[in-house]
Amino acid sequence: MKLTILFGGASFEHEISIVSAITLKEKLSSFDLSFIFCDQDHRFYLIEQSKMKATTFSKGLHKKMPQLTISNDAFVQKGLFSSIEHKNTILNLIHGADGEDGTVAALLDFYSIKFIGPRVNACVFSHDKRYTKWLCEAKNIRTLRYEILTSSVHKDISIPYPIIIKPATLGSSIGVSIVREESELDYALDTAFEYDSSVLVEPFIEGVKEYNLAGFMADDKMHFSIIEEPQKDEFLDFEKKYMDFSRSEQVLKADIDGELTHRLRTNFERAYRGLFEGSLIRCDFFVIDGEVYLNEINPIPGSMANYLFEDFATSIEMLSNSLPHAKRAKVNYEYIHSISSAKGK
């Protein structure tokens, strides 16, 4: 199978995307892979597979590689006398802004380029944690109590301490803080507001049971990964998540019964259907007093959560054969022609 991995982007998670792409180079080695790097200035480069190393980007060596433009159906490598079109299916592996906020999805749809990844609407409701809460309310999925603060509007927090502060539109636990008493609040808010103008406040529950489940839809059927119970201290901080992005070995399946497995899958499918078709996502759940709560939707999980799948390569191939197609209106100027005929012009 031919597949082009698109990675990089202009976000706080730029380097994480590079790590994910290098990991998938190994996990999808049976594919005919190519790699397109989006730098922080939104320039696209075709990266030689042998040069898919972290130092290629940290040392700026990618700038010596062919630069690409976009036209209908393809990324284009322009030569002196001719151009080469790259028309493989794209795997959107840009984490954070650009990749998960809908920018890349809109760009690829605009140019009718086939891609694996969340579509624009899915990005909107998963990239911003505020909108994820609203999505869950609409789909009858339990989430933790929350409040929203902005950098311009401050108010008293009614949620009892300890609380957790999260920037609204960042992943990888960047800018996240646990606040145990009021004296720690200002510093936590200052940290979060460095990354986002809006933050989410939730209760912090010590020792809460957490489970991660990934999945995708192919041929109108959900396909689930194993369920993982991640190892953590207080919460999955940036360092632990960053290390996870380079994971390529399958993790151990959580020791839970069939009834809980069914409820986790039911909530996952409820969130996925009608919105995330065409993408492989990971949902992170809490289980509190026997009830399932959705904590977060990862529309482009680190290294695509390959470590949760028994056969990741086959999963990607199945997904690539079941991608939605954006419908375009056919323009034939019939209305203008009818007006012109009526006026005799």
pLDDT of amino acid 149: 92
Q: How far apart are CA 125 and CA 170, in angstroms?
A: 13
pLDDT at 236 over 60: no
- Domains of the chain, earliest start first: 2-116 (3.40.50.20), 124-142+207-320 (3.30.470.20), 147-203 (3.30.1490.20)
- Flag whether the pTM goes above 0.75: yes
- The CA distances from residue 93 to 42, 143, 259, 263, 307, in Å, are 15, 27, 33, 29, 16
Contacts for 65 with CB less than 8 Å, ≥ 6 apart: 45, 46, 47, 48, 51
pLDDT of amino acid 244: 56
pLDDT of amino acid 328: 82
Neighbouring CB atoms inside 10 A of 106's CB total 13
For the chain, the average pLDDT equals 92
Binned at pLDDT 50, 70 and 90, residue 245 comes out as low
Mean predicted confidence (pLDDT) in 23-30: 96
Q: How far apart are CA 283 and CA 257, in angstroms?
A: 19
pLDDT of amino acid 242: 47
82-135 confidence digits (pLDDT tens): 899 999 999 999 999 999 999 999 999 999 999 999 999 999 999 999 999 999
239 versus 13: which is more confidently predicted?
13
Which two three-digit tokens encode residue 143? 């989430």
Mean predicted confidence (pLDDT) in 74-78: 96
| Rg of the chain (C-alpha set) | 22
pLDDT of amino acid 252: 87
Mean predicted confidence (pLDDT) in 265-272: 98
